[in-house]
Every structure is written in structure tokens, then in C-alpha cells.
Amino acid sequence: MKLTKKMQSALLMENNRQLFKCPICSAGMEMVDHSRLVCRDMHSFDLAKSGYVNLAPQAHSTKYDKSLFEARTLVMNSGYFGPVLENVIARINDHLTGTEHSVVLDAGCGEGTHLHAIHSQLGTECIGIGIDLAKEGIAAASKNYPGIIWSVADLAAMPFADAQLDAIINILSPANYAEFNRLLKPGGMIVKVVPESGYLQELRDAFYEGKQQKEEADPLERFREQFDAVESERLTYTFSLPEGLLEPLIRMTPLTWNASEERVREVLSAGMKEITIDLRVIVGVRR
């Protein structure tokens, strides 16, 4: 008899209950009746039908809705991020060499396509965990990619026990380095992907008339303040846009959120043959 997604997730969480801590009181947690995570103070969190668990006690609303994650899924499954994911997979596999059992977390996993691709190509037996504050993203991830622990959770207070993770992935998402250091085992690895100046340049030209947006503080410098053995590599390439992919690309990126629907239609009408991917992969290990 084939297990439901909820039962698959319940068994996965039950077998790895040592990873969890209650987001309210920080106590350890147990799986009860294959349907809910409960701590000793009886804070209880039900599993959704698709298998994810919401461990963000406070309700959060985000701009990341179901349609955005559907667009992201189309774009990411097109091979758009292929070279980046290959780079990340190679780095994690190299770090995990000789490790029999590992735990890898994607902090800010969205709809889960990145973690699914990475998890499926790791050369070691690995527990994958994906978290995001956007419930719609986690709901999509749990429906599409069973076999991974999916949770709505806050990066500022992640519901996991200290020093449990072998690697953390943080792709184009906010970071919380204090939490990352708390969760990583000594010598655990962090892989962060940040945009460089040419990222999605064609969309910037179309919607911002070539104007540069305000640059964030140097992520590499901040990374070196937090981690040891820091390395970075810039990956720049152009991706040919298949027919029909421009609209979901526009819909998925915050770059276009302030654009009028009229301007979006103008850009779609003009068309776009390729898009520039310009990203930096930064890696380091916990001190």
C-alpha cells in the first residue's frame, strides 16, 4: 500500500525528531499519531494533508503568493539555474565526502525546486529540510517533492536544535548568520548565492531604463566576518528563453513588482530572447 504524502512526512519527522525544537518554548518535540508535532509543554503543530508543518507561531503575510510560486516552478524547471545548482551540488558533495548521514537545510527554499534538485544529486544519505515564511511556497514544495521535510518557519528563530546541520543553502534569500551558526555542526558548511550587477540585466533595462538599483552592503565582507575558509566564485552566463517563459520570469521576480500591468504587457509584446544570469556563490564553514 502506497503511503500518503502526509504519512511519508510524518515518518520522516518521527525518525528525525531530534532535529526539532518547539518554536514557542524551545523544548524537544515528538510526533504524535502520525499527524502532529508536540513538545513537552503541549504546544502542538498539525501536519497539512500534503505533509508540511507550520512552525511559525505568528501569522505572516508575504507578497509571495501561489501564482508567483507557480511561475517560479516553470522557470526553475527550464534549466535556467542549471549551472548554479551544479556548482552548489559539487561543493556540498565535496564537503560531505566521508559523511555517512547528513542533514542539509535550504533556508528560504520557496517552492522547493532548488532543494529538490540538490537533494536528489547528493552522494551521501541525506535528510533535506526546506523552510520558508511563505506558506504557499511550502505548500507547493510538499505537494511536488515528498521525501523532504518541509516547514513554514522564520529564519530569525528556526525551529531546530543546536548543531544538527551539516550544510545550509541560502539562495537569493535573506540570511540570519547567528541562527546559521547555531544550527551548523562545528565545521558545517554554508553556501550562499547572491546577485551580481548583471543579474537579469535585460529586465532591469526594460523596467528601470538601465538605472542601477541601490546596492546592498558587500555580502562577501560580511560573510568573512562570520565564517572561516571563505571562498567565492562568480558565475555569469546567458540563458536562452524558450517561448512562453518570459511571462513567468517577469511574474516571479520582485524586480517587476512595482511595474504597471501596461508596462509588463509592453515588455511581453516586445519579447526577449535571452536573459543574463550573474550570481556569486559564497561558501564558508562554521568557526
Q: What is the pLDDT of residues 216-246, one digit of tens each?
A: 678 899 899 999 999 999 999 999 999 999 9
Instruction: Name the β-bridge partners of 28.
Output: 21
Predicted local distance difference test score (pLDDT) of residue 84 = 97
Mean pLDDT for 151-166 is 96
Predicted local distance difference test score (pLDDT) of residue 124 = 80
Cα gap 19→145, rounded to integer Å: 20
Predicted local distance difference test score (pLDDT) of residue 67 = 87
What does residue 270 show for φ and ψ, rounded to 5 degrees?
Answer: -70, -30
Predicted local distance difference test score (pLDDT) of residue 210 = 59
Q: Count the Cβ atoms, other than its own, within 10 Å of residue 122.
A: 17
User: CA angle at residue 250 from 252 to 149, to 5 degrees?
Assistant: 15
Confidence check: pLDDT of 148 > 70: yes
Which residues have a Cβ under 8 Å from the Cβ of 54 and sit 6 or more positions away?
A: 45, 46, 48, 135, 138, 151, 152
Q: What is the pLDDT confidence band of residue 136, given thresholds at 50, 70 and 90?
A: very high
Q: Give the model confidence (pLDDT) of 28-85 as tens digits.
A: 999 999 999 999 999 999 999 999 999 998 766 667 788 889 999 999 999 999 999 9
Whose grid coordinates read 509584446? 269
Burial class (CB in 10 A: 0-12, 13-18, 19+), 172: middle
Confidence check: pLDDT of 214 > 60: no
pLDDT, averaged across the chain = 93
Confidence check: pLDDT of 186 > 90: yes
Q: Are 257 and 206 in contact, with CB atoms under 8 Å apart?
A: no
